[in-house]
């Protein structure tokens, strides 16, 4: 029996599905930098999820290893910090027991039927800095999907994976591409907010060491997403919807 489970929200379009989009969220981990439990950033999952469903697509939420997915504490609107207290969309998502149950039972990326997917969307958060970068299985899955010509997206810290992801010929996927991800200015602001260094490396710093690629950012926490061919990237948590809309545009203009 297949381990895959599809998650679909209330269909605003009331019509047949236009296809299935896989959203890949990080499995829980522990930060070696802070010692915090870390996961995916809630809004980077819930907000694009809503955009895809509203546009008429089914959604599968998967993870690299399969199994449980958890939200970063600061992204949880019920967290004691109050950092994301105004994220009412995520709060509504969390009130759906069927959706939250699915986060405990995500299929592994290796179990996805890539041929049946319309697009892939990697969700950011703190865990991807440890669990996405250097993850051979995830990089191969994403690279192969990208080379098929279908929309391949990553937002925020999920773009850390792109620092090392090769194509089938060994060329870096982002070579010759313009892309974005969590900016150094945003890392600095985040560190100042909590009073310590949060991430083991900064994506923008590492991206600017690469030859033959263009990494671009806007002012901290500005909504910003970039489409270069079928590669779509978003700068941070405020850019998930913009990235999702670029995915939808790419699908519907194909």
pLDDT digits (tens, 9 = 90+) for 125-156: 999 999 999 999 999 999 999 999 999 999 99
Reply yes or no on whether the pLDDT at 3 is more than 80.
no
For the chain, domain boundaries = 20-252
* Inter-residue contact 77 to 40 (CB < 8 Å): no
Q: For 70-85, what is the mean pLDDT?
A: 94
CATH number belonging to domain 20-252: 3.40.50.880
For residue 95, the tally of other CB atoms under 10 A from its CB is 9
User: Rounded to whole angstroms, how far apart are CA atoms 254 and 245?
Assistant: 14
For residue 137, the tally of other CB atoms under 10 A from its CB is 12
Q: For 226-254, what is the mean pLDDT?
A: 97
pLDDT for 1 equals 39
Reply yes or no on whether the pLDDT at 234 is more than 90.
yes
For residue 189, report the phi and psi dihedrals to the nearest 5 degrees.
Answer: -65, -40
Least confident of 3-12, 50-59, 214-223: 3-12
pLDDT for 254 equals 82
pLDDT for 8 equals 42
Query: Residue length, the chain?
Result: 254
> 36: Cβ–Cβ under 8 A, 6 or more apart, which residues?
30, 73, 126
User: Rounded to whole angstroms, how far apart are CA atoms 24 and 122?
Assistant: 5
pLDDT digits (tens, 9 = 90+) for 26-68: 999 999 999 999 999 999 999 999 999 999 999 999 999 999 9
pLDDT digits (tens, 9 = 90+) for 108-118: 999 999 999 99
Q: For 84-108, what is the mean pLDDT?
A: 95
Largest CA distance in the chain: 49
What is the overall mean pLDDT for the chain? 94
pLDDT for 32 equals 96
Reply yes or no on whether the pLDDT at 13 is more than 80.
no
Least confident of 4-13, 101-110, 203-212, 223-232: 4-13
Reply yes or no on whether the pLDDT at 9 is more than 60.
no
Reply yes or no on whether the pLDDT at 95 is more than 70.
yes
pLDDT for 15 equals 76
User: Rounded to whole angstroms, how far apart are CA atoms 12 and 219?
Assistant: 34
Reply yes or no on whether the pLDDT at 12 is more than 80.
no
Alpha-carbon distances, residue 59 vs 46, 180, 204 (angstroms): 11, 24, 30
pLDDT digits (tens, 9 = 90+) for 168-196: 999 999 999 999 999 999 999 999 999 99
* Inter-residue contact 77 to 91 (CB < 8 Å): yes
Closest Cα to residue 3, out of 99, 85, 123, 113?
113
């Amino acid at each position: 029996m297949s381990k895959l489970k599809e998650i679909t929200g209330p269909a605003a379009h009331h019509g047949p599905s236009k296809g299935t989009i896989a959203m890949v969220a990080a499995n829980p981990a522990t930060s070696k930098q802070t010692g915090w439990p870390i996961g995916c950033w809630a809004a980077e999952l819930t907000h694009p999820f809503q955009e895809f469903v509203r546009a008429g697509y089914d959604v599968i939420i998967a993870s690299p290893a399969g199994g449980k997915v958890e939200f970063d504490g600061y992204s949880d609107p019920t967290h004691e910090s109050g950092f994301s207290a105004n994220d009412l969309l995520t709060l509504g998502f969390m009130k759906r027991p069927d959706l939250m149950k699915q986060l405990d039972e995500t299929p592994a990326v290796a179990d996805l039927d890539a041929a049946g997917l319309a697009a892939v969307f990697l969700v950011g958060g703190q865990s991807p800095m440890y669990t996405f970068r250097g993850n051979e299985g995830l990089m191969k899955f994403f690279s192969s999907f990208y080379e098929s010509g279908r929309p391949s997206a990553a937002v925020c810290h999920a773009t850390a994976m792109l620092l090392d992801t090769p194509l089938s010929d060994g060329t870096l996927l982002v070579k010759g591409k313009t892309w974005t991800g969590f900016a150094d200015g945003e890392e600095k602001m985040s560190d100042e907010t909590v009073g310590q260094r949060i991430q083991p490396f900064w994506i923008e710093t590492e991206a600017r060491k690469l030859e033959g690629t263009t990494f671009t950012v806007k002012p901290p926490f500005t909504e910003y997403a970039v489409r270069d061919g079928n590669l779509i990237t978003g700068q941070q948590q405020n850019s998930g919807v913009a990235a999702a809309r670029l995915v939808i545009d790419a699908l519907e203009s194909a």
